[in-house]
Each structure stands twice: as C-alpha cells, then as structure tokens.
Amino acid sequence: MEQTSDRSNPIHLLLVGLIHREAHLITIGGGATSDFGGFVASCLLRGISWSVVPTTLLSMVDACIGGKVAINSKFGKNLIGNFYKPSNIFIIQDFLKTLPESEMISGFGEVIKYCFLDKDIFEKVQQEDVNKIDIIKMCASYKNELVEKDFNEKNLRQILNLGHTFGHAIEVIYRIPHGEAVMWGMFVIFKLFNEDQFIDALKFFRLKLEIVEDKPPWLHKTFPGDKMMELIAKDKKKKKSDEINLVRIRKIGDPFIDNIRFDKLLELIKQKEYEFKTSTL
C-alpha cells in the first residue's frame, strides 16, 4: 500500500526546502512540547534557532528554562536529548487562568522544590499573603541563574534535581503529573534519611500552595522499592553503574550532592517499607 506524505513532518519540510539555516522554530505548550520542539530544533541541520511559549505553570518554572531538550524512550525518561538553549522565552501569565487544578498542583509541586533550594523563595512563600506570580518569577530567575553558571549540568546545576530521582520513578509507576511526583520524591528522600524537619516543611508548603493531596499513591499498599530501584538504575543522573548522585538538603537553601551506592539506597528503602506504607503528608 502506498503511504501518504505527512506535510507537517519536519523531514518532509526539510526535503522541500522550507527548513533552512535561518529558519526559526516556535513551540507553544507545556514541558513535553517544549522538550520535543527544542530537540527537533537541535537536530535539524545540526541546529536551528528556536523560541518557547510555555502554557503551563510547570513549564514556566522549570521545563522552558535551561535548554534541556529531550524525548523519552522505552528505557527511561528524557534519555535521548541535548542541551540547546532557546533564543527567547515568552512567559504569558494569562495561560495560568486556563489550567485545570491538576496542572496547577503539578506546577506547585515543582515550586516546592525551589522552596528548599533557595532561602529567599522559602521566606517569600511563608508570607501571609503570597503573591503566586511573584513566586513563579523568583523560581524562574533562580533556575536561570544556575543555568548560566553551569549550562551542561556538570556540578552546581545538579541541585535542581532535588526530588527527581525518586520522582521520575513515581511518575512512571503511578502515572501521576510530574510536579506532584517530584513532591513525593522529596518526601521519600526525607523519610529515608529521617529528616522529619523537612517533612514538616514539605507539609507546610503543600498547604500554603493549596495542594490538597496528602496521601502518597502507594498508601496502604506495598511500597514499590524494587521497581523504583529498577527505574533509578536507568536514570540519566546515574554516576556509575552502581552509584547515583542524590540531591539532599543540609538546611533550607543549602543543598548538596550525595553520591550513594544502589545497594545502600535499597537497604534504606527496605528499612522504611512499613513507614512508607502508613505515612501521609
């Protein structure tokens, strides 16, 4: 059977001459859209310029900033990609008015991460009347500053992965939104290392940002430690075949990288299985 040509296919456009070195790609959408659009821009003709218009809270505070562009594979999340910065980022606040509650929860799950990383954001969220637009701007500015210092994520930028090691696994296993999964990923880290003070702070941020979900997706079920470790072993943050960089917190505004062996991490998970099964936030 003869196949019909898809005229919107980038390769088709390239062949007919509509994509050239001066072409400019614009992506409008959430994080997955900007990741994919940026990846396409980075590959076409070894790289054409591109811009992004984020339409979700999660993308505004995270995905659209930093030039990480990638696609998923059956082996893991964002394993195929590049570092390729957009020429422009256009943040239009009116898009926030169009978002369902689940999208706002996902975005604020990522915002909580910044509350632990930066003391100024932490103090801003503690104010009685929180201006959420100001919080969004502060998160975006904080990430942009880190990216400028460490674009290829060799050292300092790695702290932005707080909550993501377990968060990505939780996202895959339970099919929940990314930001919500990151929140529970932080919960797992704090629980593993007996950091109750950070769990209390996590609960405070959840309530302050009006995230209603206080029950982890595994509550009253077997905690999927083995499955999580299987996914973590494929994580792009893996330092060696038996070790991963795990982002932790000494105190608010003072994150650090803990190089931890997989067998040690699994041992900690096994020790905490019952607590995970019964704990809420």
Which strands make up the sheet holding 238-240, listed edge to edge? 238-240, 243-251, 254-261
> What does the block give as tokens for 236?
């792009």
- 22: nearest Cα among 105, 112, 87: 87
Enzyme catalytic residues: 46, 68, 110, 143, 153, 157, 161, 164, 168, 178
Convert 91-111 into a string of H (helix), E (strand) and C (coil). Answer: CCHHHHHHCCHHHHHHHHHHH
Dihedral sign, CA of 117, 120, 123, 124?
negative
Q: What is the pLDDT of residue 14?
A: 59
DSSP helix/strand/coil, 22:
coil
Q: Which CATH number fits domain 1-99: 3.40.50.1970, 3.60.15.10, 3.30.70.100, 3.40.50.10800?
A: 3.40.50.1970
DSSP 122-160: HHHHHSSS--HHHHHHHHHHHHHHHHHH-TT-SSGGGGG
Where along the chain do the CATH 3.40.50.1970 domains lie?
1-99
- 81: nearest Cα among 37, 115, 28, 121: 37
| Cα separation, 20 vs 44, whole angstroms | 9
Where along the chain do the CATH 1.20.1090.10 domains lie?
100-281
| Cα separation, 87 vs 103, whole angstroms | 26
Q: What is the pLDDT of residue 2?
A: 44
Residue with tokens 């502060």: 138
Residues 100-159 pLDDT 10s: 988 999 999 999 999 999 999 999 998 878 788 889 889 999 999 998 898 888 888 899
CA geometry: angle 89, 162, 235, nearest 5 deg: 90
* CATH number for the domain formed by residue range(s) 100-281: 1.20.1090.10
DSSP state of 5: P
Answering whether pTM is above 0.75, one says yes
Mean pLDDT, contiguous 10-residue spans, the chain (281 residues): 55 65 91 91 91 94 88 79 91 92 91 96 87 88 91 87 94 93 96 96 92 91 91 73 90 94 92 92 90
Torsions phi, psi of 24, nearest 5? Answer: -135, 125
| Cα separation, 87 vs 109, whole angstroms | 27
